[in-house]
Chain A
Amino acid sequence: MSDAPSRRDFLVYSGAAIAGVTLGETGRRWLGRMDERAAGWRDRGIETFAVSVCRECLAGCGIRVRLVDGVPVKIDGNPLCPIARGRLCAKGQAALESYFDPDRLLGPAHRIARGGPARWEPLPWKDAVALAADKITRAAGTPDGIVVVAADERGPEAEAWTRVWRAAGARLAWTPQPTAVRLRPRLRHLTGAEADPIFDIEHSSYVLSFGAPLADDWLSGVWAQRSFGRFRRGVASSRGRLVQIDGRRSATARKADEWLAVAPDQQSALAYGIASVLFRENRVDRERLASVAGNLGNFEHQLLTYYTPDNVASETGVPVVTILRMARELVATPRPLVIVEAGASVALVDAVLSLNVLIGAIDRRGGLFGRGDDPLPERDDAAAVLRDVAEGRLRPSVLVFADSSALRALGGPNRPETLAERVPFVISFSPYVDEAAAIADVILPADVPLERWHAMVPAAALGAEVIPVAAPAVKRRLDTRDTGSLLHALAVAIGGPVEAACSWTSSEDLVRAEVKRLATAKRGTPFVTTYETEWMQQLESGGWWAQAADSDAAFSDRVLASGGWVDPYFDAGQLTEALRGGRSLSFPLPEALPSAQIAGRATGADAAAEPPDTRFPIALVAFQPAVAATSGNANLPALFELLGQPDGVPWSLWVEIGSELAERLGVQARTRVRLTSAHASLDVMAVRVEGMPAGVAALSIVPGAQTAGRWSRLIGKDPRRLWGNDPAARACAVQIARI
């Protein structure tokens, strides 16, 4: 080998150098481009705010969306909205993630191959609507025809929904509003008043709560939270005391001054027990009650006979002294109030409403009011209807879902797939890959809330009448449609009377018509500040009904810009009036406590009456953590991080067990246990709860969290399988073992 480089070497190395330079230059330019891309492109970073309405539950809070260059980056409460007053709950904020959800449906789709794993193919809108319309037309003649399921949202869109489906001959079923389930019908039964119950928590001095999730999302989440805060530390009042009667240590039980662990089915006995003590100790105003209540004597007799503290103590396990103390505490402060969970049993709601009458809480500051309304139409409960379908008692040819709310209700069918097996054709309007989509044959995705036009009647909680109204806050991100145009397209495709019933072409038409109606009402105002709203209430109470002299167009603009319309007028004497004017108050006559059972329990012979299954000794009850119980999208990662906090089990389901059982199983922090029922088994994290009764365990259920998308799938199996095909509303017998 010579020292001088050969000609060949020279060529090779120069070639290598040139290659190196070319490569380097390409790399340098590529890096420059990457750098530019990494810096991101925000146009001018211009910040704007748009009002909209939260639709994650039925509370109808006004929201304010912060947009940067037209892209939403954060959701806050609308400061002018009388419901939200500038505040918002965790679920409402998470709607931002719904808009950006990477697993949302891109557009209309239809299922290829029924049964087996779901596979969809995109379909143009025209074909998708035609396919749905064809099935609907054919189904119209069949015996059980069409069943249509939706959350009971009220307002112009819901009315349009009803009109179209009525015209198509469908049977409508609804996931009921919280107050409509029990509270309103039982209040009518008690007082004769056609009114929504309004609980003035904020001004009460003592709240006795029978399972009401006051610190969570009771009736209307943000309202409940605000009421709780002000009840505790009002500006000019003393601290309110809260006693929570709850089957498990809920968030409210944790915040309460006292928590009594009493199972939901025993709570009505406790409520009547407290009432009987009030009678026995002459702590009720008999004269005043006798003037309004026809059957006071019977009621008192019934209570004093059957609901003696001793009987109630042996039924509920609450000591006699505690029952006596509860009753005395209840009337010891100036403005006590008794509240109850919205979905509680008829007996419990009756007992609670009667207690409020006894303590004089009706139409009293810090008490229970009624807000007058038109009579509610009788509405079928969707969960019950779907159960009928799942069990073959009802055989519709087409099943239509506006959303998945009915499939998430604890009393609904545990296995949505059985619906798909029973019904030949399923249509879903939900924009998410949720439980309804999982069984749908054709999906016609509607817009997500931030993209929608809004005008709705919120769940009843405030005295004022509020209608949140808003135009879309953001541009539509995917190929979806608003509900109004969807119904219109469907109606046109079906033709005949259905088309004739459809007097609109889009949701915008529906909302604008609603705003026009409000303009002609000549009362109320577009959302204004809290101060101005209160001022208006003063004026209206004094008989001054004036509306700002606006043209209809200006009024409409103001309503849309402020986020809604409010009429603060509130008749605080509605229930009393109903009692005075109409029939007298009729107390429910509670059934006698099964005395044999009481005697049996007292002597410890209970076991003979109801032999417990030794294999499954523990009664498992299900509950839905409020932070994750949305009616819309279930694929919201920020919410899954909140699960189980502060006991430290985010992103997972957990079972709460009493300290005795925990001791036996050796449960420490982060111990996993296996729950086994007759139907299935499930591994979950166990959380030890001091004060939880022995023989009972509470399992968290995150509805919809198994199908919706990448984050929801991380939550794991649907625990409702433990209940088999039985709805998870009832307790289920399980065995718990440490893994």
Chain B
Amino acid sequence: MRRYVFPVIVAVLVAVGWVLVLPPAPMAQPIAFNHAKHASAACVLCHQGATTGVRAGIPQADTCTRCHATAPGGKISEAAWTGIASGRRIAWQRLTRLPDHVAFSHRRHTGPGQLACASCHGDVAQRTAPPDRAPVRLVMTTCLSCHTREGASEDCAGCHR
């Protein structure tokens, strides 16, 4: 029996260590979207809530089909495109996420706050392939350093909800 105990312990330790030491798993997007190719258009063209809403939103097919009449060449199979164009949900993985207890509004920061998208989202607009994790790691200090610099509210309850 003892023959198996040590190998099993080793396997478990390696598994736990793997999860703890490595950064979160890369996120694979369902479509290899090329931001750089679309960047001549304003971000808000597809992320429609970026200046008007709490969430910027990730576009669904109805947004794509306003410009694309057919499957964008080479990046996506004809069959997948028909499915998407007929209204099937694109299972985008959200990369930049905030915890449930943070109240963040895009409109507030892009409007009165006059922040550029890149301040929080980094160079995502120049990426030719979808990044596998958020280009900028957002922690509370990221928010606070800017709030201090710009003289914005530093009241905890202003963002914590």
Q: CB atoms of A and B under 8 A apart anywhere in the complex?
A: yes
Q: How far is the CB of B104 from chain A (nearest CB, A)?
A: 11
Q: How far is the CB of B32 from chain A (nearest CB, A)?
A: 19
Structural contact, A31 and B53, CB atoms closer than 8 A: no
In the complex, which residues 42-77 of chain A have their Cβ closer than 8 Å to any Cβ of chain B? 42-46
Interface size class of B (residues with CB under 8 A): 20 to 34
Structural contact, A39 and B97, CB atoms closer than 8 A: yes
Structural contact, A12 and B7, CB atoms closer than 8 A: yes
Structural contact, A16 and B7, CB atoms closer than 8 A: yes
Structural contact, A28 and B22, CB atoms closer than 8 A: yes
Structural contact, A16 and B10, CB atoms closer than 8 A: yes
Instruction: Summarize A's interface: helix, strand, loop or mixed.
Output: helix
Against A, the Cβ 8 Å flags (1 = close, 0 = not) of B75-98 are: 000000000000000000110010
Whether A613 sits at the interface, judged by CB under 8 Å, is no
Structural contact, A23 and B24, CB atoms closer than 8 A: no
For B14, B22, B93, the residue with the greatest tally of chain A CB atoms inside 10 Å of its CB is: B14
Looking across the interface, which residue of chain B has its beta carbon closest to that of A68?
A: B54
Residue contacts A-B, CB under 8 angstroms, 9 given: A16-B8, A23-B12, A24-B22, A27-B18, A28-B25, A32-B27, A35-B97, A43-B57, A44-B56
Structural contact, B19 and A44, CB atoms closer than 8 A: no
- With A23-B15, A24-B22 given, can you name 12 additional A-B contacts, CB distance below 8 Å? A13-B6, A16-B7, A16-B8, A16-B10, A17-B11, A20-B14, A21-B18, A23-B12, A24-B15, A24-B19, A28-B19, A28-B22
Question: Complex: how many Å from CA A95 to CA B97?
Answer: 33
Looking across the interface, which residue of chain B has its beta carbon closest to that of A38?
A: B100
Structural contact, A17 and B14, CB atoms closer than 8 A: yes
Structural contact, B49 and A31, CB atoms closer than 8 A: no
Q: How far is the CB of A411 from chain B (nearest CB, A)?
A: 49
The chain B residues found within 8 Å of chain A, CB to CB, are 6-8, 10-19, 22, 24-25, 27, 48-49, 53-57, 93-94, 97, 100
Question: Complex: how many Å from CA A23 to CA B97?
Answer: 26
Structural contact, A44 and B25, CB atoms closer than 8 A: no
Structural contact, A45 and B55, CB atoms closer than 8 A: yes
Whether A557 sits at the interface, judged by CB under 8 Å, is no
Looking across the interface, which residue of chain B has its beta carbon closest to that of A27?
A: B19
Q: Which 6 A-B pairs have the closest CB atoms?
A: A24-B18, A20-B14, A44-B57, A32-B25, A16-B7, A24-B15
Q: How far is the CB of A292 from chain B (nearest CB, A)?
A: 64
Structural contact, B10 and A36, CB atoms closer than 8 A: no
Q: Which residues of A contact B13 (CB under 8 A)?
A: 20
Q: Which residues of A contact B57 (CB under 8 A)?
A: 43-44
Whether A664 sits at the interface, judged by CB under 8 Å, is no
Q: How far is the CB of A32 from chain B (nearest CB, A)?
A: 4
Q: How far is the CB of B91 from chain A (nearest CB, A)?
A: 10
- In the complex, which of the residues B15, B25, B56, B100 contacts A20, with contact meaning CB atoms closer than 8 Å? B15
Whether A7 sits at the interface, judged by CB under 8 Å, is no
Question: Complex: how many Å from CA A41 to CA B97?
Answer: 11
Q: Which residues of B contact A39 (CB under 8 A)?
A: 94, 97, 100
Question: Complex: how many Å from CA A12 to CA B54?
Answer: 54
Q: Which residues of B contact A36 (CB under 8 A)?
A: 27, 93-94, 97
The chain A residues found within 8 Å of chain B, CB to CB, are 12-13, 15-17, 19-21, 23-25, 27-29, 31-32, 35-36, 39-46
Q: Which residues of A contact B27 (CB under 8 A)?
A: 32, 36
Looking across the interface, which residue of chain B has its beta carbon closest to that of A25?
A: B18
Question: Complex: how many Å from CA A452 to CA B15?
Answer: 54
Question: Complex: how many Å from CA A17 to CA B8?
Answer: 9
- In the complex, which of the residues A16, A17, A24, A25 contacts B16, with contact meaning CB atoms closer than 8 Å? A24
Q: Which residues of B contact A25 (CB under 8 A)?
A: 18, 25
Looking across the interface, which residue of chain B has its beta carbon closest to that of A41?
A: B94
Structural contact, A27 and B15, CB atoms closer than 8 A: yes
Structural contact, B18 and A13, CB atoms closer than 8 A: no
Structural contact, A31 and B24, CB atoms closer than 8 A: yes
Q: How far is the CB of B48 from chain A (nearest CB, A)?
A: 7
Q: Which residues of B contact A42 (CB under 8 A)?
A: 55
Looking across the interface, which residue of chain A has its beta carbon closest to that of B22?
A: A28
Q: How far is the CB of A93 from chain B (nearest CB, A)?
A: 22
Contact flag A17-B53 (CB < 8 Å), given A29-B25, A31-B25, A36-B93: no
Structural contact, A15 and B7, CB atoms closer than 8 A: yes
Q: Which residues of A contact B11 (CB under 8 A)?
A: 16-17, 19-20, 23
Question: Complex: how many Å from CA A42 to CA B12?
Answer: 36
Contact flag A44-B53 (CB < 8 Å), given A21-B15, A21-B18: yes
Question: Complex: how many Å from CA A20 to CA B14?
Answer: 5
Q: Which residues of A contact B14 (CB under 8 A)?
A: 16-17, 19-21, 23-24
Q: How far is the CB of B161 from chain A (nearest CB, A)?
A: 13
Question: Complex: how many Å from CA A112 to CA B159?
Answer: 55
Question: Complex: how many Å from CA A581 to CA B53?
Answer: 63
Structural contact, B19 and A31, CB atoms closer than 8 A: yes
Question: Complex: how many Å from CA A164 to CA B37?
Answer: 63
Question: Complex: how many Å from CA A335 to CA B158?
Answer: 51
Q: Which residues of B contact A45 (CB under 8 A)?
A: 49, 53-55
Question: Complex: how many Å from CA A51 to CA B149?
Answer: 44
Looking across the interface, which residue of chain A has its beta carbon closest to that of B3?
A: A12
Question: Complex: how many Å from CA A27 to CA B48?
Answer: 35
Looking across the interface, which residue of chain A has its beta carbon closest to that of B25?
A: A32
Q: How far is the CB of B1 from chain A (nearest CB, A)?
A: 14
Q: Which residues of B contact A21 (CB under 8 A)?
A: 14-15, 18
Q: Which residues of A contact B18 (CB under 8 A)?
A: 20-21, 23-25, 27-28
Question: Complex: how many Å from CA A48 to CA B43?
Answer: 24
Question: Complex: how many Å from CA A35 to CA B8?
Answer: 27
Looking across the interface, which residue of chain B has its beta carbon closest to that of A28?
A: B25
- In the complex, which of the residues A17, A28, A31 contacts B10, with contact meaning CB atoms closer than 8 Å? A17
Question: Complex: how many Å from CA A27 to CA B53?
Answer: 35
For A12, A24, A25, A40, the residue with the greatest tally of chain B CB atoms inside 10 Å of its CB is: A24
Q: How far is the CB of A71 from chain B (nearest CB, A)?
A: 14
- In the complex, which of the residues A15, A20, A35, A40 contacts B12, with contact meaning CB atoms closer than 8 Å? A20
Looking across the interface, which residue of chain A has its beta carbon closest to that of B47?
A: A44
Question: Complex: how many Å from CA A45 to CA B94?
Answer: 15
Q: Which residues of A contact B53 (CB under 8 A)?
A: 44-46
Q: Which residues of B contact A43 (CB under 8 A)?
A: 55, 57
Q: Which residues of A contact B16 (CB under 8 A)?
A: 24
For A16, A21, A44, the residue with the greatest tally of chain B CB atoms inside 10 Å of its CB is: A44
Looking across the interface, which residue of chain A has its beta carbon closest to that of B14?
A: A20
Looking across the interface, which residue of chain B has its beta carbon closest to that of A36?
A: B93
Question: Complex: how many Å from CA A700 to CA B48?
Answer: 53
Q: How far is the CB of B99 from chain A (nearest CB, A)?
A: 8
Question: Complex: how many Å from CA A31 to CA B49?
Answer: 28
Structural contact, A13 and B10, CB atoms closer than 8 A: yes
Question: Complex: how many Å from CA A17 to CA B12?
Answer: 9
